[in-house]
Amino acid sequence: MKAIEPFLDAISQTRKVWLLEAMTGMFAMLEDSDGNSYIPLWESEALARKAAVEDWADYEVTEMGFSELAVWLKELTRDEIDIAVSPEKDGEITAIASANFRKWVKPQADDSYHEDEEDDDDDDFDYGEGWAEQW
């Protein structure tokens, strides 16, 4: 298991992380033997590029600033998807709970990223049973 501190130190300097993106909004994911899902994040473009092999060979390396990351981590928390810190090629990961990572990222983020109006932040509304049934 890799230490998280060097990862946090590196990204706190750049205020961004790197991901592998298959297509717009579709990122590389990992799953453990218990069925838990993780989004891998890297602290540098070079490390992310090095990971873009085999199943991820066609993925593009993309960066995400802390402002967008803070919003995205809220969605990942809701979807029960955590973070894999610079996963190793042998499949070993060091995980960070998305909710905990968001608490660390959010105070360091600026307000440069804004979601579209249709992406309402109030997603806790209970529609009740049958809301998606046909009329």
How many domains are there within the chain?
1
On whether residue 116 sits in a domain, the answer given is no
* Structure confidence at residue 110 as a pLDDT band (50, 70, 90): confident
The mean pLDDT value for 105-129 works out to 62
Name the residue with tokens 């090629």: 89
Q: What is the pLDDT of residues 50-106, one digit of tens each?
A: 999 998 999 999 999 999 999 999 999 999 999 999 887 776 788 999 999 999 999
Domain containing 103 — which CATH number? 3.40.1350.90
Read off the pTM. 0.79
Question: Residue 26: which domain range?
Answer: 5-108
The CB density around residue 81, as the number of other CB atoms within 10 Å, is: 19
Output the furthest CA–CA distance in the chain (Å, rounded). 54
On whether residue 53 sits in a domain, the answer given is yes
* Structure confidence at residue 115 as a pLDDT band (50, 70, 90): low
On whether residue 47 sits in a domain, the answer given is yes
* Structure confidence at residue 18 as a pLDDT band (50, 70, 90): very high
121-131 b/e with 16+ CB inside 10 Å = b?
Answer: eeeeeeeeeee
What gap in Å lies between CA 61 and CA 48, rounded to an integer? 6
- H helical segments located in the chain: 5-14, 45-51, 66-78, 98-105
